[in-house]
Structure 1
Amino acid sequence: MPQQTTELRTASFADLNARTLHDLLKLRIDVFVVEQNCPYPELDGRDVEPGTRHVWLTDGGAPLAYLRILADPDGVARIGRVVVAPAARGGGHAGRLMTAALEVVGNRQCVLDAQSHLVAFYTRHGFTVSGPEYVEDGIPHTPMRREAIDG
């Protein structure tokens, strides 16, 4: 059986080539808009901001998992659009991706809005619930925060 190899990548929008951008956006749309039936404007303008970092795992060039890190105006890092391709779920890719994202974030405070069924996953990565659950696009979400790390 051939060994599966994955590669971790990070880039700003300016550093993404057209094919990679297409593949990452297709993954996001396939999961968030089609699978989760959330017809919202997936392209919100934040992907192109200079402070945004795109983090993803590939296998043979195809994206397996993706997230983006936004630089909010208050200096807080915001992780969002966390997605794993359906065929790649259960392989530990989300955990590897989150670990890599937190390395990019460094010591800064970091926030995210977790789908509520994933709160325990984010808790394992140092996040705590920071507000009440709310419903967005028919899906329960929970705001979470990882405080800045001194040092």
Structure 2
Amino acid sequence: MNLNYCIKSFDELTNNELYNLLRLRSQIFVVEQNCPYLDLDNKDQKSFHLLYYVNNEFAGSTRLVPAGLSFEEISIGRVVIADTHRGLGLGKKLMEASIAGCREKFGNGPIRIGAQYHLSNFYQSLGFAEQGEVYDEDGIPHIEMLLNNTSTEE
């Protein structure tokens, strides 16, 4: 299995790359999770996008968000893997690449995420710690989690 990824600013994305990542996010977050919400929140233009490929087929993506846009800290959001590529251990690889991408693009500050609560243990395995109380976001329980800048995950 050939795995690779690239990180691009919004302006660097090709039309096809942008279409593929927005289509996947809509397919998973809106259709699969039955959660009608506006995915296009004007943060994409100020963020970097990690595009993950398996055997040169688009398999997943994340959004690397600078500090001050979603949270006070750097953030990783819109974490998504195509249903056709689940069960291959890509979630961990995608997040490790995203953490490394945040370090590369934004430096070694802490990284905060708004995680779906049922994935809390997964994110804890990557070094994130729960912060605060569980909250509802579009009908799905979420919790903020923080990865300290002293972390060495890559």
Q: Deviations over 1:106-146 (max 9, x none)?
A: 22110001111100110011100011001111111111011
Unaligned runs of 5+ in 1: none
- Shift, 1:60, TM fit: 4.8
Question: Counterparts of 1:65 and 1:93 in 2: how far apart (Å)?
Answer: 9
Q: What code does the residue aligned with 1:128 have? A: A
Of the three residues 52, 57, 64, the one matched with 1:62 is 57
The answer to whether residue 63 in structure 2 is matched with residue 87 in structure 1 is: no
Mapping of residues 1-151 of structure 1, within 5 Å: 4-49=1-46, 52-73=47-68, 76-106=73-103, 107-149=108-150
Unaligned runs of 5+ in 2: none
Question: Counterparts of 1:110 and 1:133 in 2: how far apart (Å)?
Answer: 18
Question: Counterparts of 2:130 and 2:54 in 1: how far apart (Å)?
Answer: 33
Q: Deviations over 1:11-44 (max 9, x none)?
A: 1111100001000100000000111011111111
Contact 2:2 2:56 in 1 (8 A): no
SS in 2 for 1:133: strand
Contact 1:54 1:69 in 2 (8 A): yes
- Shift, 1:9, TM fit: 1.3
Question: Counterparts of 1:83 and 1:44 in 2: how far apart (Å)?
Answer: 17
